[in-house]
A and B are shown apart, each in its own frame.
Chain A
Amino acid sequence: MRFLSKYRRHRFAGPLLLLAGLLFVGFGYTVAQAASEEAVLTSSDKATLIAEGKEIFARGCSSCHGLNAEGAGIAPSLIGVGAASVDFQVATGRMPMADMSQQAMRKEPVYNEEETAALAAYVASLAPGPASVTNEELAWERSGDTAEGGELFRNNCAMCHNLAGQGGALTQGKYAPTVMGVEPKHIYEAMITGPQAMPVFADTTITPEEKLSIIKWIKHAENEPALGGAALGRVGPVTEGLLAWTLGLGLLIGIAVWLTTKAR
């Protein structure tokens, strides 16, 4: 007790006490929140997850896809599309659609992870379809082969997604989006479900191992440092030509003007 009474009026006592209090509250909050999250997950078994999903579906999706996901004039039936499709469309923000334009674009997702999982469970419960995957399930880093993946990408994907995976134009304003910065599970799900204009790459066409190789190549291309300097968007000769005319020739003409300026 001597210690406390000796230092309780020390000039650092106040700030230290405040710091200790903040740390206590912070830790406590984090632990309590983690505990409550766990509680949500454990308390919702499959049936309740489906029920939850059905409720979200009725609120957010049924106006276009129909009350029982049977589809309507403006949106397709979701019976049999499977959890993978829901996970891809909802978790990348494509669904719900922002507007009825040429194709759904990637944006900030509207539903969080649990809501997406519930929706996926509901849609999967309607009829069997491709199951969703998680990033952890995909062992692309271990079992993929970058060189083979590149070859597969050039054979199957590059004609729409560009040689460097930067995306490309399709007809009537549709497009193949860039594959850079896409989560591995979403790349995988896109291949097995064929969203929008994309064809389905069934496991008989591209085996699951080959799909992992493609993901590995995409991740490599994404993380490869700019080897030759500024990448100029990696879209090839168009930006190169633009830079040659503007910076290259522009700089040289500027210097030519300077060289021929009369000394005053």
Chain B
Amino acid sequence: MAELTYRDAVIRGIAQEMTRDPDVVFLGEDVAKAGGVFKATVGLYEQFGPLRVRDTPISEQAIMGAAMGAAMTGLKPIAEIMFSDFFAVCFDYIANEFPKSRYMSNGQVKCPLVIRTGNGAGSRFGAQHSQSVENWCMMIPGLKVVAPSSPVDVIGLLAAAVRDPDPVIFCEHKSLYATKGEVPDGEIVDQLGTAKILRPGKDATIVALALMVPRALEAAEKLKAEHGIDCEIIDVRSLVPLDTQTILGSVAKTHRLFSVEENPRLCGWGAEIVSIVADEAFYDLDGPPVRITTPHIPLPAADILEDVVLPTPGRIVDTVRRSLGS
């Protein structure tokens, strides 16, 4: 057992898989010699050499296409798109190419690849370098979408993503890179499509993702200590496949549902979960499900503005407390 940062967990996860399988290769902008702009790939070039860890030009379409062509023909590429906002310049591959090739070819073409990307706000970078775009990807049939919140999950879910035969979008949260967590020694392999109950509770279910997970946990402590409300916190972790059973089971116990989402409100991932719970567990609910999200705005750059628009522990506490009428 060792304490590791989320950033170092990315390095360890990639290294674990590259050590295991010589067909795992890695490409992206500034990822090799420079070790990545977030320093989340430091040492991989030195460890695995220039044939397996490759710097690319600033050509997101070439990165995505190259990963796809390599995956179709037998490699297991990991590609980095530096900021998830840049998905917009290579969205053809995310929306049209690698998720649809298996279906359109009637199963002939396989696309086992992982796209890692720096996602989310908190760095005061403004509207084009701060977005949470997991919901852009969630709506596309054929993709899998993962967003870990802790170092141990980074390693385990990255390993699962690399070993998965489908294309996986792996959202790393930029504001979590410096956070730390306990990580066991040895190989770590997790399972896609599994949510985790991080804190059991009986009064309300709060589902959260990535940076919103520690905020929900902090809110839960306050709600318990100051208001006597006992919240169950679920880290959704994997949007596709989605572990609805864990969520429905929790709602059956607590009878209330809250989502905490960093993505802007419209068509955020929480809307799908609320819809599923409304369809399938309506009579378990003692009150309306409530979504706590970033408003439907581009993100402002200024620190005091950005801090106000993202869901905070304070906003979560207030929303849950008001909804439960205490």
A, B assembled together:
no
A residues sitting closer than 8 Å to B (CB atoms) are none
Interface residues of B, Cβ cutoff 8 Å to A: none
